[in-house]
Structure 1
Amino acid sequence: MALRRTLATPLLFTFGLFSVAALPAHAASFDCQKASAGIEQAICASKTLSTQDEQLAEHYQQLMTLSPQTGRVALRNAQRDWLKQRNACSSDAAALTACLTQQLTSRDAVLVQQLQQATDATDAAVALIPRDPAAAARQLRQMGGLQAAAWRVYLQQFEPASGISHQDAQQAQKEADAALASQDSFAWSILQDTRKDAKSTPADAALLLLRMSIEQDPYRETGPAGKPRAETHCFVFSRQGDAAYEAFGPLYGSTRDGFAPICAPQGGLFEKAAWKALDTQFDAPERAVSSGAGTIRFASFAAWRVLALRATLTPKDFLKTDNDQPADDGAQRIKEWTDEKVWPQTQRQQAIAAIEPAVAATVKWLQQERGFSEADAQTAGKNIVQQWLTEHLDYLSDNSDSE
């Protein structure tokens, strides 16, 4: 349950498609109980064709959402032209199945290609933000969809050079709110509660909206054509600091936190042998207590991912000290652990022995990869390891009968 085990496959949020209970009850993009034409009946009668039709309809709806208004007209016309071709398939049973298979396959391939292009265009526009926010804004204005709208809100809030006006941002927020409410009413309700909170700022709300828009993206890790998708939003964490880590971190207290769009750690620190050794020592006890931890455990996993990102992306954060709080001693807490069934003494001793090598590896990495002085690297390195230990030991103690 440690760093390497907390990354989860993202949820695939799909658009609402009709389920059917007539004919052989296969799913399709239309109501099979109302199917009249031979073409529709043939699709409903075949599980394979129904699945193809449903997938095609999903891709079409996703592309409509991502397209600007003018692009939607052209897309709708192209879909209507294709439906005419599909409906021209022969009525002969064998020929009809082959024709429908070919038509559905070829049309879906076109839609997937266009979806990939739309996805690439969004990613390219977002990647422009750090160096040319005005150019990014011009591109995002030409795009539809929740994410493009959320990024416009972000630009107005944090990037004055983008040229996004307050009026433009208000319109973008309306578009984003409508899309989020239709796709994920629970997330939208949390966003609304945040906006009503007197302690929340417009910046907090803008970052939370951005986080939720990225969560809704069904291709957050892999594009529609199976192409790996870069994490283009990672600059937000280095630019917005604590506010971004807070907005993108634990939120729901459920499995949803497993899909938080927290970028991967940077620079390979946690791939070092010393860190893997320390991580391994916590593997068995964390697995032992996780069975009774409930879905709230995903909030802890998200917090660990935030820590890993912060430690590697903005490690100067760990030069700060809280003078009001005594320094936590992870090694002492491990020594005082009493539940031998969950974590035997021999394993705890191995965990304690792995602490100093992890500190040394972190100190060296900070000097080599982040240009820290030896003194600063020592301070930050110790703080990173101690905070990692604190979060993991808190998880164990909160979900076990004894520490």
Structure 2
Amino acid sequence: MAEHRRGANLPSIGGFNRTVVLDAVRRSPDGLSRVELAGRTGLSAQTVSNVTRFLIEAGMIAESGTVVSGRGKPRTILRLEPDSRFAVGVHVDPAVVTYVLLDLAGTVVASTTTSTPTADDPDQVIRTMAAAVDGLVASAEVDPDGVLGVGIASPGPIDVDAGIVVDPPFLPRWRGVPLRDALAEATGHPVLLEKDVTAAAVGEMFLAGESSARNFAFVYFGTGFGVGLVVDHEPVRGTGANAGDAGHLMVDQGSLAGTPDGNGDRGEVGAAVAPERLVRLAAARGLDLTGGLSETAEPMDAGAVDAAWDALAAAIDAGDPTATALAAEAGTVMGRAAVVIVNLLDIDRVVFGGPFWSRIAAAALPAACQAITGSPILVPKHPVTVVETDRGADVAAVGAGCLVLDAALSPRASALLIRR
């Protein structure tokens, strides 16, 4: 049975109670009666009545039909009004910036992309992103006043206090970009900045509804390899909000060990499954990635890697044994890295996702699952569930939007503290 957050009846904390009630309604697709809300939240009938009146007047929930239960009078069902508020999610990737507009339920109602601007001119970065955000909201015919805010998922490291993208290794020209405050000023919306792996984990947690796991690892496979963590329903951010760098975990690379140029055999999972390395390895094994892979040994730019990855994905979809085997080997290596996290935190759920994951998942997920559940070094004796996110390739952008929804809608005990 799903656990539900408990409220408090003190009148001075009405804001907290509103989020408790809204959270309960949001997590119940079939809606809840006021009696059910009181039972699930621990709030008094009068408090539930007052809070639901406020939320109805705010347009965030609505009365939707009645049900007959027992011999009492029919009960009015309350349901979420998804199109009453919205959030924008932005994912900064080396190749493209993805923008999504989410409704109150976390459903993507509009999306767009732009090429990732160079950070040589930070002002141009902000102009490009602000124009895309404003255009996305306008194209969806959404009232800007109904937008709760903008969430940004960025490769780390970030300085979350200052709202700055510091110096991501895969965005070498993005150094010290003051993204949060500048974008807030340009768009007029509150802006949150989060590391991409953490944003993905928050999105997974927020959108899971009543089935939300208390503890899980989100294995994020993008340009880099990372792991977003949720422990006891809270994302693990770390001292500087840069938790999740898992690329240096040492694992048995199996048949992925070594590369055509002799590099990458140190045992680090991030080096082993780097997308550029894998497409070069595919080509070395005879797979035709025409149009997406340079014949030279020069580093490939982000667009070329992405095009080659599309070709690899197409080969997997076509049943090519070389492509399928390579994806399975990558899944196995990532699964072996996940075992270390499972053992460390004693978690029972591992979710795989990310921009590069979704295109190889058909072959990589079964291999990753076997590498985890069949691992000879797996310590926990309880079952471990291994799944693919259903948020798609845009999971980081969706997670970024969910940062805003989570901050605005999810109840937090810290709201109960008396502040002087």
> Could you tell me the TM-score, scaled by structure 1's length?
0.29
> Could you tell me the TM-score, scaled by structure 2's length?
0.28
* Greater helix content: 1
Larger Rg: 1 or 2? Answer: 1
Structure with more contact order per residue of length (Cα contacts < 8 Å, sep ≥ 6): 2
